[in-house]
Amino acid sequence: MSNEQILKTSKLTKSFGNLIAVNHVNLEIYKEEVVGLIGPNGAGKTTFFNLITGLEIPDEGQVVFKGTDITAIPPHKICQLGMSRTFQVARSFTEMSVEEVIRVGAYNRKKEKEVQEKVDWVIKFFELEDIRNYKCSDLGLASLRKVEVARATATEPDLLLLDEVGAGLTSTELFRLMSEIKRLNQETKITICVVEHVMQMVMGLCERIFVLDAGELIAKGVPSEISNNQRVIEAYLGRRGYSESSSAS
Ligand SMILES: Nc1ncnc2c1ncn2[C@@H]1O[C@H](COP(=O)(O)OP(=O)(O)OP(=O)(O)O)[C@@H](O)[C@H]1O
Ligand SMILES: [Mg+2]
């Protein structure tokens, strides 16, 4: 991790009606690090990604990416500037082949003649050679998730945001995917921010972790600080206590 910031948010806020989904969040991500964004369901993690990638307009606050104020800039422009993301819902490109999906990503920052080179590099990196001509609708969940990460990587991001790319995978599949994400960071120096529910994976993969609860950033630090943080423990246990009592009624 370098000491140069790639992303900084100040007082970032978004409400939906009376609900404050993201509440005055100040955080900074440094170049080349892998950071985790965690928090109970509904904590505001996806909304935070939506705000920094331009899918949602903040009510208040600012997003600075690579020294440029990108608050409320349209998503495709932010992607061209070098921020890319995966989406929580998979199966968006069902009729396309694996290679076609990755090609769509590669057109983001590459000219026609460099696109194939990028596509080939990404396919090789993620070991997708055997399935490059498969239709996405024919893939299992683990492959589909890998293709989604590969598509986002093909856009040539400086900052890659991964929203629960491991959801629904077996622990072996999840471990493999996380190893690939780690290798991607080590070999390409792409800065990566992951939202992931499996705590063991977040702790193993991330250098630093941010914790959101009910829209507020309640903690940030290295994994050992986070796992011993009283507010974090309460946020998770409190939510579990709530869902247990609500499902019992
Ligand atoms: N477009 C929207 N309209 C209304 N409410 C929304 C909208 N998007 C999110 N919310 C609400 O904002 C809160 C934060 O949602 P968000 O999806 O950001 O949480 P999350 O941390 O990603 O949760 P999960 O872990 O379940 O994916 C939730 O209460 C959610 O219901
Ligand atoms: Mg989410």
Residue 241 has pLDDT above 70, yes or no: no
Summarize pLDDT for 27-79 with one digit per residue, the tens.
999 999 999 999 999 999 999 999 999 999 999 999 999 999 999 899 999 99
Ligand with minimal distance to 163 CA: 2
Which numbered atom of ligand 1 lies nearest the CA of 44?
18
CA of 116 to the centre of ligand 2 (A): 33
Query: Any idea what DSSP says for residue 97?
Result: B
Q: Give the least confident one: 24-28, 101-105, 184-188.
A: 101-105
Ligand with minimal distance to 22 CA: 1
* Pocket residue to mutate for ligand 1, from 16, 165, 195, most atoms within 8 A of Cβ: 16
Q: What is the 3-state secondary structure (H, E, C) of 202-232?
A: HHHHCCEEEEEECCEEEEEECHHHHHCCHHH
Name the average pLDDT for the chain. Answer: 91
What phi-psi label fits residue 71: left (phi over 0), alpha (psi between -120 and 50 degrees) or beta? beta
Q: What are the distances in angstroms from CA 187 to CA 125, 183, 196, 203? A: 10, 6, 22, 20
Q: How would residue 197 be classed by pLDDT, with cut points 50, 70 and 90?
A: confident
Ligand with minimal distance to 87 CA: 2
CATH of domain 5-82+157-248: 3.40.50.300
CA of 39 to the centre of ligand 1 (A): 12
Taking CB atoms and a 6 Å cutoff, what residues make up the pocket around ligand 1? 16, 19, 21, 39, 41-47
Q: What is the 3-state secondary structure (H, E, C) of 170-204?
A: CHHHHHHHHHHHHHHHHHHCCEEEEECCCHHHHHH
Which numbered atom of ligand 1 lies nearest the CA of 47?
18
Q: What is the mean pLDDT of residues 189-194?
A: 97
Q: Give the least confident one: 86-95, 131-140, 156-165.
A: 86-95
| pLDDT number for residue 244 | 41
Higher model confidence: residue 110 or residue 107? 107
Evaluate whether 10 touches 182 at the Cβ level (below 8 Å): no
CA of 141 to the centre of ligand 2 (A): 18
Atom 4 of ligand 1: nearest residue by CA position = 16
CA of 72 to the centre of ligand 1 (A): 19
Q: Give the least confident one: 187-191, 214-218, 235-239.
A: 235-239
| pLDDT number for residue 43 | 96
Residues in the chain: 249
Q: What is the pTM (predicted TM-score) of this model?
A: 0.92
Q: How would residue 112 be classed by pLDDT, with cut points 50, 70 and 90?
A: confident
Domain boundaries, the chain: 5-82+157-248, 89-156
CA of 44 to the centre of ligand 2 (A): 7
Alpha-carbon span 184 to 170, nearest angstrom: 21
CA of 42 to the centre of ligand 2 (A): 7
| pLDDT number for residue 89 | 58
Place of tokens 């104020």: 69
| pLDDT number for residue 93 | 65
Atom 25 of ligand 1: nearest residue by CA position = 41
Q: Residue 135: which H helix or E strand, with range? A: none
Q: How would residue 92 be classed by pLDDT, with cut points 50, 70 and 90?
A: low
Higher model confidence: residue 93 or residue 173? 173
% of the chain exceeding 90 in pLDDT: 79
